[in-house]
Structure 1
Amino acid sequence: MRRKDREITEIKELLQIIDQCKVIRIAMEDHAGLYIVPMNFGYTYENNQLVLYFHSAKEGRKITALKEKSAICFEMDSEHGLITADVACEYSYSFKSIIGNGRAIFIDDIEEKKSALSVLMKHQTGRDFLIDDSMVDGVCVFKVIVEEFTGKYHP
């Protein structure tokens, strides 16, 4: 990171940013080139390991790309705000962001899919939901095992 003065290194602060974010952008590559898509997500952080959870339609460009190459990168951001000034070049924008990379793994086990969807719904709504077999049957569920991530802020 070029601006070390803006780097966030404390895991508690990084997880607070993730808690604020409801949309993440995941980027991948397929035969047609680079592809990025915004998605809702949930996450766990246990034993110093960040895992992101997603649900999707069972087919499409994203699913095909992830099956061909599991490597992804991601970005999420929050606390946006325009910083005004008298001179155009002094305008700026405040934010907090997380970027990282990892590998996508498709979840086939019914119980693990239910757990992943519960984590996703809890993150998105703050509520606990009972997920049954019929709910997981119609969707693809995958997780990203995060290999590294960093945080940055501009106050």
Structure 2
Amino acid sequence: MRKSVTEDKSVVADILDKAEVVWLALADDEGPYCVPVNFAVQGDTLFLHSGKKGRKAACLDSGAPLAFSAAVDVRFKTSDENACKLGYRFRSVMGCGVPRLLTGDEKMRALDLLTLKYAGRTMPYNEKYLPVTAAYAIDITSATARIKE
């Protein structure tokens, strides 16, 4: 493993707590599919929501393993010396997991976690959207963090 990469769960958790978006890498019969999503994290589980129809929902409903990534503190590194010194500083997470559809109280808890993360508080829901909204848990099977400074 590279010296800038760690499996330390506290480092992974810190990055995921600060990340605004997770990129999901999914695959289906059409091939690879990558999509950014809002998410919340609790322990070794990511939570996200989706419409019940569409390619993303179909991939998640399949229960097939997926990959995800997130990055925070992304800053361009300049150099007057040469092009090889240009690049980025960042903290990132790459991981794998298995999605599962949530229903009932678990679905509402996931939606509350998402609302709390992005709005800073729980809020009421428009009841007409709940029947067409799916919530998923992604049980993280592995994750590493990379710190590039």
Q: Give the TM-score normalised by the residue count of structure 1.
A: 0.87
CA distance in 2, matches of 1:37, 1:18: 17
Q: Establish whether residue 102 from structure 1 lines up as the match of residue 100 from structure 2.
A: no
CA distance in 2, matches of 1:11, 1:71: 20
Tell me which amino acid in the other structure corresponds to 1:37.
Answer: V
Give the match for residue 11 of structure 1.
9
Give the match for residue 46 of structure 2.
52
CA distance in 2, matches of 1:65, 1:10: 29
- What is the SS of the residue equivalent to 2:33? strand
1:4-153 aligned within 5 A: 5-45=3-43, 50-86=44-80, 87-108=82-103, 110-130=104-124, 136-153=130-147
Tell me which amino acid in the other structure corresponds to 1:30.
Answer: D
- What is the SS of the residue equivalent to 1:150? strand
Tell me which amino acid in the other structure corresponds to 2:67.
Answer: C
Q: Is the 8 A contact 1:22 1:123 kept in 2?
A: no
- What is the SS of the residue equivalent to 2:123? coil
CA 1:76–1:88 in structure 2 vs 1: closer, same or farther (change >3 Å)?
Answer: same
**When the two structures are aligned, how many residues end up with a matched partner?**
148
Tell me which amino acid in the other structure corresponds to 2:20.
Answer: K
Tell me which amino acid in the other structure corresponds to 2:76.
Answer: L
Q: Is the 8 A contact 1:24 1:76 kept in 2?
A: yes
Q: Percent identity?
A: 26
Runs of 4+ in 1 over 6 A off after TM superposition: none
CA distance in 2, matches of 1:90, 1:62: 38
Q: Is the 8 A contact 1:83 1:93 kept in 2?
A: yes
Q: Give the TM-score normalised by the residue count of structure 2.
A: 0.90
Q: Is the 8 A contact 1:70 1:105 kept in 2?
A: no
